[in-house]
Amino acid sequence: MSAASIAVLPHPLLAIRGVTVQYKTADRLVTATHRVSFDVHSGDRFVLLGPSGCGKSTLLKSIAGFIAPTEGEILLDGASVRQPGPDRVMVFQEFDQLMPWKTVRENIAFPLVANGTDRKLAREKAESYLARVGLSGFSEAYPHTLSGGMKQRVAIARAMALEPKILLMDEPFAALDALTRRKMQEELLRLWDDVGFTLLFVTHSIEEAIVVGSRILLLSPHPGRVRAELNVPSRHGEAGGEAQSALGRRIHHLLFDEDDAQTAAQAGKTVSRRAHG
């Protein structure tokens, strides 16, 4: 990126600067991402897309403040991220992110109260966000009585109610059945239209990335490095649908053909192509 183009762009909401994240297992130190840089701007639906092993979930955890990067910097609104906090709420893939001992409304209200919101106001906010995700009638229900899709809706409402600077989502629909997943993607877009939040969304599905995202960061695996950053065309109209299909093919090409090329290069059959990558 040249100096001129930086000057034109506004100040990014979230800036990832040369971030390397490593995590320890019992007997080894794994480098999940290596010197990854990108910017997320206010109002983006920014998607981190890549095959398993590209460190996208680890990177998201690092942005959430759960894992400190070993190198580089994560800046939210110019301030360095050091620990988890309610300005970057995360929606997880697992259904057990809701507290089973709290009703749906209490689940949404208690993080607000814990962060200093008045109880009555927290209650009202909880109700209003529940209504937004279409679960008004369920505020007294306990999470174990809800279906998977409803649990994820509550988790999304809970995260949105905190009104974070950026909403982090780690494959939130991956554990849902295909029909429900499709519906939830549509609902998320509708919420974005209504409320206008900034979204950082991790997925390994090309199709989901194109449906949900406005901009897609492609990561290549082992360790995760930036491969491309692409704009998603509007899906309205026949031309839009066509453009999206073309983008899907492009992403597929970028993710998988490169793999083939690398395998080939490692096998010593073609050496010249690697120099370009």
- Dihedral class, residue 59 (left if φ above 0, else alpha if ψ from -120 to 50, else beta): alpha
The residue from 17, 41, 53, 94 that contacts another protein (CB under 8 A) is 94
Residue 86 binds another protein (CB under 8 A):
yes
Closest CB to another protein among 72 and 86?
Answer: 86
**From the CB of 219, what's the least distance to another protein, in Å?**
22
Residue 128: count other Cβ atoms within 10 Å of its Cβ. 13
Binding status of residue 145 toward another protein by CB under 8 A: yes
Instruction: Compare residues 107 and 220 and give the one whose CB is closer to another protein.
Output: 107
Separation between Cα atoms, residue 9 and residue 3, nearest integer Å? 10
Closest CB 111 distance from another protein, rounded Å: 4
Question: What are the Cα distances from residue 66, in Å, to 24, 57, 63, 170?
Answer: 13, 11, 8, 13
110 binds another protein (CB under 8 A): yes
- What's the min distance (Å) between Cβ of 234 and another protein? 32
Instruction: Indicate whether 201 belongs to the interface with another protein (CB under 8 A).
Output: no
Q: What element of type H or E holds 165?
A: none
The whole-angstrom separation of Cα 190 and Cα 186 is 6
**Of residues 34-63, those binding another protein (CB under 8 A):** 61
Least separation in angstroms between CB 68 and another protein: 13
Q: Measuring CA to CA, which residue among 111, 113, 115 is closest to residue 98?
A: 111
- Nearer Cβ to another protein (57/220): 57
Could you tell me the two tokens for 244?
Answer: 């999206």
Q: Contact with another protein (CB under 8 A): which of 9, 11, 18, 66?
A: 66
Nearest distance from C-beta of residue 64 to another protein, angstroms:
6
User: ∠ at Cα 164 (160, 167), nearest 5°?
Assistant: 70
* Cis-peptide into 223, omega within 30 deg: yes
* Residues lying near another protein in the complex (CB under 8 A): 61, 64-66, 83-86, 88-90, 92, 94, 96-97, 99-101, 110-111, 114-115, 142-145, 162
